[in-house]
Structure 1
Amino acid sequence: MAAAGLLAVVLGVLGGTLPVPLVALGPGPTYNTLDAIDDVPVIQVDGLSTYPTSGHLNMTTIAVSDQLTMFGALGAWASGYRQVVPRTTIYPPEKSDAQVQEDNSAQFAASEANAEVAALSQLSVPTRVVVGELTPNSPAGPSLQVGDELVSVAGRAVDSPVAVAEALLDTVPGQSVAVTYRRAGQEGSAEVVLGASPDRPQGLLGVRPGIEPQEGDITISLGDVGGPSAGLMFALAVVDKLTPGEITGGRFVAGTGTITQDGQVGPIGGIPFKMVAAAEAGAELFLVPADNCAEAASTAPSGLRLARVATLTDAIAALDAVRADQPIASC
């Protein structure tokens, strides 16, 4: 009995303190993209006409619990609303935790940029292409600065971030290309020797292009969140602020989905957890990427209405229909 008791104590200590190579996924916090976080508006518009908004357009997240002990993992599994998966699913062994965080932050920044492009294109607002960010050791770094307007790249006029990428399609690393830019109202030019990219054969400019309205400025700010899945909700918030009327009609709407610069809404992971988080926060309607519809329909919390969206236009149409008490495309 003494030996058995000692063994139980040892197992208890190990089970409560020894980390296991697992993480638990569950519902994370939601954020109203029409509101402010820590007194900073999520969507800040300067120099453009804006209109009052109401209700909620909440982006949703997944909470990842790391450094689980055996007892912690068992508890998460037994809870019924969290999923325990191998840690390598979230943190690939070939990358450090810092690199994973950096990747998530880059994806989130890209979703912000794509959302702005998609919203401004939806509203036909005149725009200009700017240097949104310079990559580490950027070949363009000595010549360009964040905020510079890009006029032409490699002899081609550029009017969108996609056009910047297309201008470099036929280039090779080591090639010198001309870049025309505008800074503080003054036009300048530079010769940039392109670098090499690890994932594409063409030359690397080292610029992450963004887009801004020709007049005014839009800033999307939401710290400590990563990944690309907030794009749809950011784009809707920009559209709501720049158009008369209240797109939600005062309702609590939540959703998720990546977005491309041309307004295509893409699928995401963990949608059951995101719907639970939305329902617990008070959402009445959840915007679901079309490719996630089958999973969403089978796991949706009771009382949460689903709207199937494949594009930003679909999402706006769904909200218009809800305000008018008309049928919507559901999952």
Structure 2
Amino acid sequence: MRFLPPSAWSPRTRIAAVCAVPVLALLGTAAFAPLPFSIARPGSTVNVLGDHQGKPVISVSGVESRRTSGQLRMSSIIATGPRAEVGLADVAGDWFRTDRAVMPRDSVFPPGKSDKETEERNVAEMTKSQESATRAALDYLHRSPKDVKVTLRLADIGGPSAGLMFALGIVDKIDGDGRGGDLTGGRTIGGTGTIEPDGSVGPVGGVPLKVQAEGRDGAGVFLVPKKQCAEAEAELPKAMRLVPVTDLRDAVESLKALSSGGRVPSC
């Protein structure tokens, strides 16, 4: 191939070459400059019927607490922090991975907040979620909070998305399936969803990653807010059964039906 020296280039070629220089410089800078994204991946799961860091996740007093079998596992995701530098190479490398999610940083971390303020917000959301889960579960069981005290310990995982699983754990600890058996039927049940004091279940973020985390840790069933069925199905492990829920009552009824061989809703 023959290359002409710049002196032999046409005026149009010279103009194109001059214009290309800043474009290439911009692309080179973008390749190394931090971008406003956060990269998330499947996090840990915790059995709310068991222990965490040497202490029971759920403790009940004022009523006899049942010994349970099976597991009710809440799930989490791990995201790069608000001060982590995420570059073009990171985004390009993780964009098409099914076990990663590239999200706007502001959708994960509130803008203008320090790391401490963000952590405090997450802890506050978890505390509120635990309070709502307790109220929803005791109301479902027709128990008075004046007579039954519930203590929830899971302080190192923030956010409100474990609410549904906390509520189900309280129901299982106190009443099981209502017939002397376990609400889980001895299975490992995963799930996610916020919960309100009236028992309604709301959507959460990172559902595809949470499904993967639960499958990795042995869950054969995953409870998901009904409106997020499509998100969960996108990365559903082959052996996992997906069960949509709208409130605590239908979540309990679905688990009872699963144990008894009854009709269980599907997405």
**TM-score normalised to structure 2 length:** 0.81
Instruction: Mark the runs of 5 or more structure 2 residues left unpaired by the alignment.
Output: 1-27
Structure 1 residue identity aligned to 2:165 = M
**Residue of structure 2 equivalent to 1:100:** 118
Deviation at 1:69, TM superposition (A): 4.2
- What SS does the aligned partner of 1:127 have? coil
Over the residues paired in the alignment, what is the CA RMSD in angstroms?
Answer: 2.1
Quick one: distance in 2 between partners of 1:75 and 1:273?
Answer: 17
Q: Pairwise mapping of residues 162-173 of structure 1 onto structure 2 (< 5 A)?
A: none
Matched, 1:312 2:244: no
Q: Which residue, out of 77, 82, 105, partners 1:62?
A: 77
- What SS does the aligned partner of 2:164 have? helix
Q: Which has the higher strand share?
A: 1
Q: Which residue, out of 28, 39, 48, partners 2:63?
A: 48
Matched, 1:227 2:242: no
Q: Bigger shift: 59-68 or 79-88?
A: 79-88
**Residue of structure 1 equivalent to 2:52:** 37
Instruction: Mark the runs of 5 or more structure 1 residues left unpaired by the alignment.
Output: 1-10, 129-213
Quick one: distance in 2 between partners of 1:307 and 1:223?
Answer: 27
Q: Which residue, out of 222, 226, 229, partners 1:290?
A: 226
After superposition, the Cα gap between the structure-2 partners of 1:78 and 1:68, relative to the gap in structure 1 and judged at 3 Å, is farther
Identity of aligned residues (%): 42
- Alignment length, in residue pairs? 233
Mapped contact 1:229–1:258 kept (Cα < 8 A): yes
Quick one: distance in 2 between partners of 1:325 and 1:97?
Answer: 48
Q: Pairwise mapping of residues 1-331 of structure 1 onto structure 2 (< 5 A)?
A: 15=32, 19-66=34-81, 67-70=84-87, 71-128=89-146, 214-215=147-148, 217-243=149-175, 244-331=180-267
Quick one: distance in 1 between partners of 2:92 and 2:229?
Answer: 30
**Residue of structure 2 equivalent to 1:182:** none
Structure 1 residue identity aligned to 2:74 = M
Mapped contact 1:51–1:245 kept (Cα < 8 A): no
Deviation at 1:105, TM superposition (A): 1.2
Q: Deviations over 1:146-184 (max 9, x none)?
A: xxxxxxxxxxxxxxxxxxxxxxxxxxxxxxxxxxxxxxx
Mapped contact 1:284–1:303 kept (Cα < 8 A): yes
Q: Which has the higher helix share?
A: 2
